[in-house]
C-alpha cells in the first residue's frame, strides 16, 4: 500500500512511524511533514487545507490511502475532495467534521443522541454570557465556538476573565464545570461499525500540578491503570455508538477517527469534547502500544470494512510521552533556536524522539519552528519504567528557553488518576 500522511506535527510523525513499521505499507509520503518524518517518508511541500493540491499530490504518487492528521484540512473539506476522486482517505467529510469544528453543533448532536455531556448555553451577547455564568456558577467554563487548537477554552474562578474571554471570541459556549479525571478514547468508525483504541490521558495545562494556561497537550500516557473495568464498553454504549448512529441518521456518516474527550465525574461519564481526528500527543503513546498493522486498519474506515476487524493487538507494558515546548508557548513561541542532543535522546533504551515544531537548519541541523517542538516517547514494562526512559531522553535535549512538565504520568505510575 502507498500511503500519504497529511500534517507535520508530533502526531503525524507518530503516524508515519507506525505506518513505516507496517509490512503492508510499501511507500510512504508526508505533506508537509517535518525533519523527523523525512527520515521515514518522502516529504512534500503543499498547502494541506487546499483539497485540490492534496488530491493532485495523492494522484501523482498513486496513494492508496491518505491519512489526514490535523483538523483544519478536515474542516476545510479535503476528505470530501479525495473521496470524490475515489482516493481512499482516513478522516471524515466536512459535514461530519463539524463535530469538532463547531462546539454548538457537537452539543446539538449529543442532545439528539442522548449522550451525557455538560449542560451548556450558546451565547452571542454579553448579557447572554452573564446570564449563563450566573446559571452555572464557578468555576466558569467558556469555549470559543470554532477551532482554536486547544487554546480556545478558559476554565476559571475569575468572573472578569471569563467575561473577557467571551468578549474576545464572539460566539461562545458557556457550560457547567465537570469535576473528575479526564481521559481520551479514540474510536475508529466506518460510518456504522466502531472499534475503540486504548484509552489515554493527556495533560492540557502548561505547567506541573495542572497550573498555567491550557495548551494543545504537554504529555500523555497509556494505558490507564486507574480506569474502572468496563469503562471502554460503557463509553462505546452510551457515547460512541449513539453519536455515530445520529450522524448516520442525518446523512453525514462518520468515517475516520472519533476522539471522545471524557470526564469521569462524580455523577458518571460526561463528554468534554469531540474531535474529528487523532489527538496530539495521545496518539504518540497509543500507536506506540498498537501491534496490529495500522495501514489496513485506517483504510477500513473508508471502505466500510471495519466490521471485519475483531480485536486489536496491543503490546504489553506502557508508554509515556513528554512534550518539549518552546519558550513562550502557548503564547507566541520562540522559533529558530538550534536543537541539540537528538541523537543522544534517541540512543536511550526504550525511548525515541518524535518531531513536532521543528525545521531543518541547513542540511544537518534541526531548529525549533513551533510551540510544541518535540514529543519524546518512552516505553517499558510499566508506567514507572516508561516514565524513567522518557525523562532520561528528555534530559539529553538542548534547546534554549524550552520547558516541559516533570509530572507526566507521575500519579498514574502509582495507580492514581
The site map against ligand AMP for 132-161 (x = CB under 6 A) is ---------x-x------x--x-x------
Helix (H, G, I), strand (E, B) or coil at 345: helix
Longest dimension (CA), the chain: 58
Question: Could you give the CA distance from residue 335 to residue 356 in angstroms, rounded to a whole number?
Answer: 13
| Residue whose CB is less far from ligand AMP, 31 or 272 | 272
Residue 166 binds to ligand AMP (criterion: CB under 6 A): no
SS3 letters across 201-213? EECCEEEHHHEEE
Residue 373 backbone dihedrals phi, psi, to 5 degrees: -90, -50
Shortest distance in whole angstroms from residue 279 CB to ligand GLY: 3
Residue 177 binds to ligand AMP (criterion: CB under 6 A): yes
Q: Among 102, 243, 275, 369, which residue sits at the site for ligand GLY (rule: CB under 6 A)?
A: 275
If contact means CB under 5 to 8 A according to the sort of partner, which of ligand AMP, ligand GLY, none does residue 217 touch?
Answer: ligand GLY
| Residue whose CB is less far from ligand GLY, 100 or 327 | 100
Part in contact with ligand AMP (CB under 6 A); list of ranges 27-35, 124-132, 177-185, 287-295: 177-185
Total site size for ligand GLY, rule CB under 6 A? 8
Question: Could you give the CA distance from residue 86 to residue 81 in angstroms, rounded to a whole number?
Answer: 9
Shortest distance in whole angstroms from residue 286 CB to ligand GLY: 11
Residue 71 binds to ligand AMP (criterion: CB under 6 A): no
Task: Find all residues with CB under 8 Å of 343, minimum gap 6, and list them.
Answer: none
Contact between 36 and 245 (Cβ < 8 Å): no
Q: Within 13 A of 152's CA, how many CA atoms are on the CB side?
A: 18
Shortest distance in whole angstroms from residue 27 CB to ligand GLY: 28
If contact means CB under 5 to 8 A according to the sort of partner, which of ligand AMP, ligand GLY, none does residue 367 touch?
Answer: none
C-alpha distance across the termini of the chain, in Å: 40
Question: Could you give the CA distance from residue 226 to residue 224 in angstroms, rounded to a whole number?
Answer: 5
Give the residue nearest to ligand AMP (CB): 273
| Residue whose CB is less far from ligand AMP, 141 or 394 | 141
- The C-alpha cell that represents 405 in the structure block: 512538565
Closest CA to 285 of 412, 400, 179: 412
Is the peptide bond between 56 and the residue preceding it cis, with omega within 30 degrees of 0? no
Residue 214 binds to ligand AMP (criterion: CB under 6 A): yes
| Residue whose CB is less far from ligand GLY, 70 or 378 | 70
Shortest distance in whole angstroms from residue 404 CB to ligand GLY: 15
Question: Could you give the CA distance from residue 385 to residue 349 in angstroms, rounded to a whole number?
Answer: 11
| Residue whose CB is less far from ligand AMP, 82 or 153 | 153
SS3 letters across 71-119? HHHHHCCHHHHHHHCCCCEECCCHHHHHHHHCHHHHHHHHHHHCCCECC
Contact between 216 and 297 (Cβ < 8 Å): no
Residue 282 binds to ligand GLY (criterion: CB under 6 A): yes
Residue 272 binds to ligand AMP (criterion: CB under 6 A): yes
Residue 70 binds to ligand GLY (criterion: CB under 6 A): no
Residue 12 binds to ligand GLY (criterion: CB under 6 A): no
Residue 182 binds to ligand GLY (criterion: CB under 6 A): no
Residue 217 binds to ligand GLY (criterion: CB under 6 A): yes
Q: Which residues bind ligand GLY (CB under 6 A)?
A: 150, 202, 216-217, 275, 279-280, 282
Q: Which residues bind ligand AMP (CB under 6 A)?
A: 118, 141, 143, 150, 153, 155, 175-178, 182, 204, 214, 261, 272-273
Amino acid at each position: 500500500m502507498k500511503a500519504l500522511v497529511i500534517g507535520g506535527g508530533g502526531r503525524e510523525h507518530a503516524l508515519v512511524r507506525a505506518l513505516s513499521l507496517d509490512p503492508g505499507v510499501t511507500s510512504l509520503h508526508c505533506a508537509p511533514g517535518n525533519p523527523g518524518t523525512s527520515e521515514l517518508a518522502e516529504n512534500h511541500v503543499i498547502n494541506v487545507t487546499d483539497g485540490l493540491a492534496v488530491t493532485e499530490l495523492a494522484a501523482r504518487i498513486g496513494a492508496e490511502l491518505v491519512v489526514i492528521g490535523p483538523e483544519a484540512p478536515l474542516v476545510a473539506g479535503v476528505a470530501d475532495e479525495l473521496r470524490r476522486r475515489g482516493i481512499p482517505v482516513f478522516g471524515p467529510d466536512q459535514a461530519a467534521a463539524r463535530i469538532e469544528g463547531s462546539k454548538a453543533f457537537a452539543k446539538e448532536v449529543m442532545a439528539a443522541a442522548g449522550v451525557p455531556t455538560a449542560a451548556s448555553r450558546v451565547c452571542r451577547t454579553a448579557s447572554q454570557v452573564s446570564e449563563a455564568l450566573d446559571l452555572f456558577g464557578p468555576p466558569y467554563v467558556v469555549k470559543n465556538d470554532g477551532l482554536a487548537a486547544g487554546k480556545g477554552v478558559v476554565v476559571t474562578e475569575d468572573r472578569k476573565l471569563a467575561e473577557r474571554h467571551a468578549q474576545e471570541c464572539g460566539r461562545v459556549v458557556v457550560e457547567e464545570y465537570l469535576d473528575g479525571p479526564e481521559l481520551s478514547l479514540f474510536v475508529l468508525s466506518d460510518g456504522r461499525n466502531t472499534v475503540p483504541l486504548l484509552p489515554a490521558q493527556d495533560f492540557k495545562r502548561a505547567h506541573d500540578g495542572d497550573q498555567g494556561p491550557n495548551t494543545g497537550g504537554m504529555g500523555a500516557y497509556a494505558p490507564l491503570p486507574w480506569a474502572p473495568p468496563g469503562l471502554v464498553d460503557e463509553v462505546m454504549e452510551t457515547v460512541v455508538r449513539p453519536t455515530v448512529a445520529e450522524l448516520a441518521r442525518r446523512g453525514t456518516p462518520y468515517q475516520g477517527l472519533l476522539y471522545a474527550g471524557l470526564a469521569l465525574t462524580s455523577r458518571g461519564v460526561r463528554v468534554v469534547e469531540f474531535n474529528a481526528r487523532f489527538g496530539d500527543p495521545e496518539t504518540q503513546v497509543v500507536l506506540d502500544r498498537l501491534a496490529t498493522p495500522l495501514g489496513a486498519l485506517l483504510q477500513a474506515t473508508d471502505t466500510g470494512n471495519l466490521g471485519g476487524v475483531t480485536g486489536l493487538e496491543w503490546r504489553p507494558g506502557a508508554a509515556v510521552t513528554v512534550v518539549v515546548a518552546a519558550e513562550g508557548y502557548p503564547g507566541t513561541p520562540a522559533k529558530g533556536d538550534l536543537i541539540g542532543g537528538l541523537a543522544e535522546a534517541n540512543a536511550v533504551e526504550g525511548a525515541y524522539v518524535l518531531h513536532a515544531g521543528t525545521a531543518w537548519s541547513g542540511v544537518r541541523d534541526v531548529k525549533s519552528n513551533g510551540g510544541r517542538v518535540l514529543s519524546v516517547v518512552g516505553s517499558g514494562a510499566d508506567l514507572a519504567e516508561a516514565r524513567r526512559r522518557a525523562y532520561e531522553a528528555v534530559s539529553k535535549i538542548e534547546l534554549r528557553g524550552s520547558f516541559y512538565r516533570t509530572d507526566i504520568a507521575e500519579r498514574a505510575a502509582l495507580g492514581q488518576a
